[in-house]
Structure 1
Amino acid sequence: MIKPIFCLTTALLCFFSVFAHTITGTVTDEKGRPLPYASVQVKGDNRGTTTNSQGRYLLEVNASGSVVIVCQYVGYARQEKTVSIEKGGEVNFQLQPIQAVMKEVVVKSGGEDPAYAIIRSAIKKRPDYQNPLDSFTCEAYIKTLVKTRKLPNRVLGQKIKDADKKEMGVDSAGKGIIYLSESLTKIAYKKPEQLKMEVISGRESGGNGYGFNFPTFINFYDNNVTVLTSTLAPRGFISPIADGALKYYRYKYLGSFWEEGKEITQIKVIPRRKYEPLFSGTINITEGEWRIHSLDLMLTKQSQLEMLDTLQVKQIHAPVTNGVWRTKDQSLYYTFNILGIDAVGNFLNVYNKYDTRPQFAKKYFNKILVAYDTAVNKKSAGYWDSIRPVQLEPDEIKDYAVKDSIYKQQQDSAYSTAYRDSLRRRQGRITVGSLVWEGFTRSNYHPQHPFYFTWAGPLKHFYYNSVEGYVVNLQASFTKVWKPQGKTLSFIPHVRYGFGNKHVNSWASLNYYRYPKGAAGGEGRAIDSWELRGGKRVSQFNPQNPIGELLNSAYTLLEHRNYMKIYENYFGELRYTKRFDSDVRVTGSILYENRMPLNNLNEYSYFKKDRVFSPNYPYEQLSSQFTKHQAVVANVEVQYKPGQRYIQYPKQKVAIGSKYPTFSLAYSKGIDNVLGSDVNFDKWRFAAWDKVNFKIMGAFSYRISVGGFLNNNKVNIQDYQHFNGNQTLFASEYLNSFQLAPYYANSTTASFFAEAHVEHHFNGLLTNKIPFFKKLNWHLVAGANAFRVNASNHYTEVFAGIENIFKVLRVDVVNGYWNGSNGTVGVRLGFGGLIGGSMKVQ
């Protein structure tokens, strides 16, 4: 039996050896310098390869006899060589700059540059080339590399230790590769907007991650071009051949050259104004067809580029069928220097194996946008050597070898105990500082069943209020994870002590989370969860906690203002949350509270002692403190975002959003005569919210809601409908509060109310015309908030401000109108911009 198999294997190897050959070589410029990421392919075959940063390439050829090898590089004349497969050997290319073969063009005085006529023709043909195929499939090889050129000694005050540098893979000077990944993704497309990506394989140096495997589609036939992610520029960038491009760009004719019987015109692209989302560089257009042949374009800080200092895009387009061209090679080079971290990187995409007449199975296109193969990160080094179209650099080979070896050792069962011991030792000793201020986390680092203990530094939770005096909060958490089973259990105790009223409040929560099997421990979102809480605590009358304790402490001590109103309660609550595959989320809870009033302790503050604290209850609604009572309240909420698309990982499915808003319907029932409950009400609320990016015109965010009481027979102040106010200098949550409204003056038990919050982030529109602002990249923001209960209870405020100050801060001027009265004006400071926009106000 073995002999026939051996013979068959030998025959197959001989058969494929006739057709499978490898051609290698180097691509250089006219001075012998290597040309990185040049395109190399067999003529007539849309499969090809790309040179590495040293100009080296390796090309697999499935043919015999002679073939023609084509080499291209943006800005250089294409070169072809006929190669005899049987002879083998190196096939090197030395390309000449296009300028050496371009004819001279004379532009007459006062006449228009010939480039404008060519660009107009390209703009006219743009819609034809935007999505020329009804359907297609292809493969994208993606390599991602990030290298540091310099690291500071400290980042945000934290010293970078030598051990940390070693773990990152950089030398003592801070130079080296900190991220390296490869992936192979199959892309399928069908008009009008059906897209699916199947990640066949992916790897990360020094780990078992999937790598960066989303192809970077940069379509310059789109009017508005997204590069990498909208975070780098929420407005996008205007294509040099966009419909309105002539208003934004100037063009200069550089000449033309010939390729395969086609004349290619090279045009210089020049932004008309600085600090607009515009490219600069060169774009090559085919005469007569007016399509993009290749391009080399640059973005800088003057292009309103965020985070990165520079970003260079190079593309080479090639025919995939008669009359249809697609991007064959695309490379992105970028640099950034943030907090002293000086780094460079690149994203290389090589598109191969185009099929312009694919046959898709029924229901192939569905809500899964990206699907990962179950063995995506389990491919061997030999597999990668066989499919990689770009040769690795020497330092990349070393990075894989060293980091993968270390990772393998860490995962090896014989080594795991020693490795876990080293990790535990690296946690360091518990110091007085970590015990009282920073806090600390300790883990046993078990690979399958890790345990975590976290201690929160109490001085970070040390507050003051007019009721309890100085307050200290002690909090810890104990978490056990069962990764194979996809389960997590946490126990979180709290102890609160008021030094003024000498009250001790202690409560705890027990949380159980269920994840897809193998994905526990915070990896992705839980399928469902249970939460059991109980004990004695201090709560604000508005359960949404409209003012944080730290901010209230500052105002109480410095301004003699006690905005936070609190009460004590013994409570017990059971909450369950379930996420369905349709991304419907259902939350249900039952709450018991024994509510007890608290009164102000004294009038102490540092300054402005002539003022008097207001009563410790919503005095706008109540003439005196509420009486002790019990409440049993049941709550249910259904949240749904239609049209969700998903990423299907090997062990879980994650929603990534849709073009539709999120809808929420909530209902609360106050249950009378159960466990002594003194409440009887029915309350409902419907809400919708979303953020819509209008690209060049900015982004629009909104949140609208309506609701009311169906029954308000017995409603205590804690169960009113509260509108989140704000009476401090610091902004509260923008799309869920009113920046100048009092905290409880508008609370209601009415049968109907409506609430709306809207704001528009201009993201550089308009401010890029103002000299001071455009250099700082500060942005305008404007909007309005309003609610209405009835003719005698309504409020509107409008605001305008500047955000993205140091990427974090935002300042607004707000004008509020209460019941139609003359406006009151205030200033609010908050978070907003590239980084600040993702920060949550506490």
Structure 2
Amino acid sequence: MLTPIVHAQTSGVRGAVKNSKGERLPFAAIQVKGTTIGTLANEEARYEISLPPGSYELQFQFLGHKTTLQRVEIKADFQTLDMTLEEVAFNLAEVKVGQGSEDPAYTIMRKAISMARFHQLEVDTWSARTYVKGTFRITDVPFLGKSLLKKANLAVGTTYVLESINELSFRQPNTVKEKVISVRSNLPPGAQPSINFARFSFYSPRFGDLISPLSPQAFSYYRFEYQGNYEEHGKTINKIRVRPRSRGQYVFDGTLNIVDGTWSLHSLAFAFVDENGFNYNIRQLMTPVQDVWMPVSSEVNVRISYLGAKGEGRYVTSVRNYQVKVNPKYHQVPDLVDEKVSKADAQALRGQKLDPKLGVAKKEVTRKQFKKMVRELEKEDIKELKKKGEDVAVVRDFSYEIDSLARIRPAEFWSGERQVPLTELEVSGYRQADSLYKANEAKIRRDSLKNTPKFRFPHLLTGHTYNYGKRTGLEWYPRTLTFESPLIGVTKLDFFNSVEGYLLKSKLEYFQRITRFSRWNVGVDARYSFARERLNGGFNAGYNNPQTSVALNAGRNVFQFNSANPISEGYNTLYSLLTEQNYLKLYEKSFLSLNLRHRLNDKFTLSAGASFEQRYRLQNNVTKGWRDVAEREFSSNDPYNLELSPNPLDPVPGTIFPTHNATILVGALTYRPFAKAARYNGERFTINNNSPGFTLRNRSGFGGSRFNQLEFSVTDEAQVGKGTLRYLARAGTFYGVSPRYLMDFKHFNGNQTFFQSEGLENFRLLDYYTYSTANRYAQAHADYAFRRFLLTQILALQLTGLKENVFVNSLFTKNTNLFEVGYGFSGILKTFGLEVVTTFQDGRYRQIGFRVRTPL
């Protein structure tokens, strides 16, 4: 697919594109009729096409303006051709609508939505050459961010440019291959960036997290308004205004132009806001290629404002050299009848049976009949793929390659290939970045010498990540060494508890990446307790790929009784030092463990683990914190549990245990019935989106701690209505022999602090160990996140990223029936949130509480 390098053409056409008011039309599309050659105007509305001498007809397109043809004679040099495009005069009078007062936009949209999947399947294969340009400029940074910019050799106000010439091919149903032929940028040396062609389609129901106006759900999210039509080369183009029913995130606001009869997309212009409050504007223009409307240009603009940092970016693509092979089964135009408008025609067609083999070209068919036929055609496609031996479980197959010469193509190559001329600001950006790099050339050369980062004394205090080898795009380095300084725990408030007193922790770990999705690692960690005057630590090694992961761990260290670690060590430090409340309860163990996870196929995953442990009881070694609170002292490190200590006043807690050995074996099987697979450069991985997970798990103890535990759980996340529902239900029992020691009980993630961490199965007002059990149990959790609810009715709040949710948690054990219901919102300073929750126990109101959501 590699196109030979050619010298730049010395002839062609260049100029500017404006409207009748003299206003520039940035990113107007220019095509050479009868060829696959095309380009875009830049932000300044200037364009340039290199062409050999001859006679050509140029087609100029811009959203909301008449497509204009202009013949030009190219001689031995560049000709100047400035074009003026007239605004489209939309005709509102010629549209025929059915009885009633419904806006005609709705019948147009119903037909376009019905045809959306058909248009996705219309092209069997296509290939093209693309020019992709991304630019960004940092306009402001807070004081603390300036040193980071300097370290990265970036400057405020400089325009950074990344250009790429890519060759792209597609084959139904989902195979995409992209090859970077050449890439050029003014990003700092060593970044080795590349940029992909954005393969988004508004025919898909979703555009990332956003609902497409052509989604079957679109009428629940959008209002549509007909704004007229116009003629373009014998085609009638309908203009539709798209407005969200409720403004905010995950919806578009703008206009769609739809080709009458085929109900294809002609062009669009939308704005939207993402969950971070960033503002986007997107434009896309299509042109017919073998009677199929294909995208020839796209433009995305974004403005960013986040915690004092501000910036702006632009992403532009131009496509040419389309080679298209249509699928005759889908390359036809039915005469769609809208049942809601043409009721009599729909009644006359009732009972009509369609033969998918005969097609529907120019045939009257209701939307319902057409939808059913498309489903039948897709079923036939799947059968054909299976006969060919293709893996129909793979829903996305993407291959990405960077040519070995991509970063060293000469200037002559770029002069001929650049489809969107650089603006003066972008040219200036290249110069400014080059000057910055030259000013720091000596330092950059030292830092990149042999591409080996060196140790510096401050790293002992701050920690550091050392990256080795050539970075792959903006993604990853082949080898990484991470060092976590003992002082990092201080910044995380993780430096004190009543058992160890003050403590320091450190970690050193090496990662070797094999492919994008597979790597192995080896590391050591250390933990020193000043009160115990003891150094603990461990060793770990592991290997991970999409199919299999193996982890080996050994050492001696302290652990929470609940291995899910529900108690934040940072918050425990605050509570212990300032309020004399030591919620963290620890025991010590020497251990050797091996854990394995293996995907048997896309739907079944097997997990197994074995752990050999010697466990030791620990007691408090510190009696108070910084602040002495009257009538309060540190509680025992032996947690209170209702099953082991029925009498809370018993002076000898039932959770006291002797030093003992234990062998723990765990096995689990997870089933995800609707899981799919994807491939990246031939490496297969599973996609669990929109599939519930069912897990059967058994845990058994031998030696000094004998027990058997069987557990079943189901969890899922799904779009329900206009929000997202997450839920988890779990039930289990101990059989044969019940455990004697608290660490082997079934625990539930409680919380007794004012702070609440994220996690679906976290209770808000439950004691940490009181209701841990060695008997039967069941728990259920549900969380519904609203797109719009109470506070988010206020658009200004919604656009800050504020999110609201309601949640329910329930627990059923031998000793309690507990039910929590609450409301919360998050997104304060992009990080924090507030919750209010009420608890009912054994059918009676118990308490109400408030929590602050935090990332810890």
TM bracket, shorter-chain basis: 0.7 to 0.9
Alignment of 1:765-804 (within 5 A): 765=789, 767-770=791-794, 773-774=797-798, 776-790=800-814, 792-804=815-827
- Quote the residue 2:68 is aligned against: 79
User: SS of the counterpart of 1:459?
Assistant: helix
Letter in 2 for 1:312: N
Unaligned 5+ residue runs, structure 1? 1-11, 231-235, 517-524, 673-677, 832-838
- Quote the residue 1:117 is aligned against: 104
Match of 2:324 among 355, 359, 364: 355
Letter in 2 for 1:196: T
CA distance in 1, matches of 2:100, 2:41: 36
CA distance in 2, matches of 1:794, 1:183: 63
Alignment of 1:263-302 (within 5 A): 263-266=236-239, 275=248, 279-286=252-259, 291-299=264-272
User: 1:744 Cα shift?
Assistant: 1.5
User: 1:808 Cα shift?
Assistant: 1.9
Kept in 2: contact 1:115–1:251 (CA 8 A): no
Match of 1:474 among 478, 487, 505: 505
User: 1:187 Cα shift?
Assistant: 5.0
Letter in 1 for 2:802: W
Alignment of 1:534-573 (within 5 A): 534-535=555-556, 537-569=557-589, 571-573=590-592
- Quote the residue 1:758 is aligned against: 782
Match of 1:325 among 293, 299, 312: 293
Kept in 1: contact 2:296–2:318 (CA 8 A): yes
User: SS of the counterpart of 2:103?
Assistant: helix
Kept in 2: contact 1:726–1:732 (CA 8 A): no
1:371 equivalenced with 2:401 (yes/no): no
- Quote the residue 1:507 is aligned against: 536
CA distance in 1, matches of 2:480, 2:760: 38
- Quote the residue 1:718 is aligned against: 743
User: 1:821 Cα shift?
Assistant: 3.0
- Quote the residue 2:213 is aligned against: 239
The alpha-carbon distance between structure 1 residues 92 and 735, as it changes in their structure 2 partners (threshold 3 A), is: same
CA distance in 2, matches of 1:411, 1:656: 45
User: 1:164 Cα shift?
Assistant: 2.8
- Quote the residue 2:137 is aligned against: 148
Kept in 1: contact 2:606–2:667 (CA 8 A): no
Alignment of 1:656-695 (within 5 A): 657-672=688-703, 678-694=704-720
- Quote the residue 2:376 is aligned against: none
User: 1:743 Cα shift?
Assistant: 1.3
Kept in 1: contact 2:610–2:663 (CA 8 A): no
CA distance in 2, matches of 1:395, 1:150: 14
User: 1:270 Cα shift?
Assistant: 5.8
CA distance in 2, matches of 1:45, 1:321: 12
Letter in 1 for 2:159: I
Kept in 1: contact 2:161–2:429 (CA 8 A): no
- Quote the residue 1:215 is aligned against: 198
Kept in 2: contact 1:722–1:748 (CA 8 A): yes
The alpha-carbon distance between structure 1 residues 615 and 819, as it changes in their structure 2 partners (threshold 3 A), is: farther
Alignment of 1:813-828 (within 5 A): 813-828=836-851
Letter in 1 for 2:125: T
Alignment of 1:551-630 (within 5 A): 551-569=571-589, 571-578=590-597, 582=601, 584=605, 586-598=607-619, 602=623, 606-611=627-632, 613-620=634-641, 621-623=643-645, 624=653, 625-630=656-661
CA distance in 2, matches of 1:348, 1:496: 54
User: 1:720 Cα shift?
Assistant: 0.8
1:177 equivalenced with 2:206 (yes/no): no
- Quote the residue 2:486 is aligned against: 456
Letter in 2 for 1:259: E
How many correspondences in the alignment?
757
Residue by residue over 1:821-840, the C-alpha shift from the partner in whole angstroms, topping out at 9 and shown as x without a partner, is 33422112114xxxxxxx4x
CA distance in 2, matches of 1:654, 1:178: 34
Kept in 2: contact 1:475–1:493 (CA 8 A): yes
The alpha-carbon distance between structure 1 residues 70 and 736, as it changes in their structure 2 partners (threshold 3 A), is: same
State the TM-score, normalizing by the size of structure 2.
0.76
- Quote the residue 2:352 is aligned against: none
Unaligned 5+ residue runs, structure 2? 329-384, 471-477, 646-652
CA distance in 2, matches of 1:595, 1:456: 25
User: 1:282 Cα shift?
Assistant: 4.0
User: 1:45 Cα shift?
Assistant: 5.1
Residue by residue over 1:750-803, the C-alpha shift from the partner in whole angstroms, topping out at 9 and shown as x without a partner, is 2x433222101113345443477446553320121123335x443221211222
Alignment of 1:386-397 (within 5 A): 389-393=419-423
Residue by residue over 1:65-94, the C-alpha shift from the partner in whole angstroms, topping out at 9 and shown as x without a partner, is 754321101122211023457777436241
Kept in 2: contact 1:420–1:445 (CA 8 A): no
CA distance in 2, matches of 1:140, 1:655: 30
Letter in 1 for 2:486: A
CA distance in 2, matches of 1:799, 1:243: 29
Residue by residue over 1:500-557, the C-alpha shift from the partner in whole angstroms, topping out at 9 and shown as x without a partner, is xxx13333332334468xxxxxxxx79644423213x322222222212222232234
Kept in 1: contact 2:499–2:621 (CA 8 A): yes
User: SS of the counterpart of 1:126?
Assistant: helix
Letter in 2 for 1:592: E
Letter in 2 for 1:561: Q
1:188 equivalenced with 2:211 (yes/no): no
User: 1:492 Cα shift?
Assistant: 1.9
User: SS of the counterpart of 1:734?
Assistant: coil
1:494 equivalenced with 2:526 (yes/no): yes
CA distance in 1, matches of 2:795, 2:132: 39
CA distance in 2, matches of 1:53, 1:288: 34
- Quote the residue 1:738 is aligned against: 763
- Quote the residue 1:708 is aligned against: 733
- Quote the residue 1:9 is aligned against: none
1:313 equivalenced with 2:282 (yes/no): yes
The alpha-carbon distance between structure 1 residues 401 and 376, as it changes in their structure 2 partners (threshold 3 A), is: farther
CA distance in 1, matches of 2:543, 2:661: 33
State the TM-score, normalizing by the size of structure 1.
0.77
- Greater alpha carbon shift after TM alignment, 116-125 vs 734-743: 116-125
Letter in 1 for 2:485: W
Match of 2:234 among 245, 254, 261: 261
CA distance in 1, matches of 2:794, 2:752: 32
Residue by residue over 1:572-596, the C-alpha shift from the partner in whole angstroms, topping out at 9 and shown as x without a partner, is 2132445559574645232212322
The alpha-carbon distance between structure 1 residues 514 and 36, as it changes in their structure 2 partners (threshold 3 A), is: same
User: 1:494 Cα shift?
Assistant: 1.2
Letter in 1 for 2:715: W
CA distance in 2, matches of 1:488, 1:406: 38
RMSD of aligned residue pairs (Cα, Å): 4.6
Match of 2:39 among 45, 49, 54: 49
CA distance in 1, matches of 2:679, 2:308: 35
The alpha-carbon distance between structure 1 residues 797 and 384, as it changes in their structure 2 partners (threshold 3 A), is: farther
Match of 1:70 among 59, 78, 86: 59
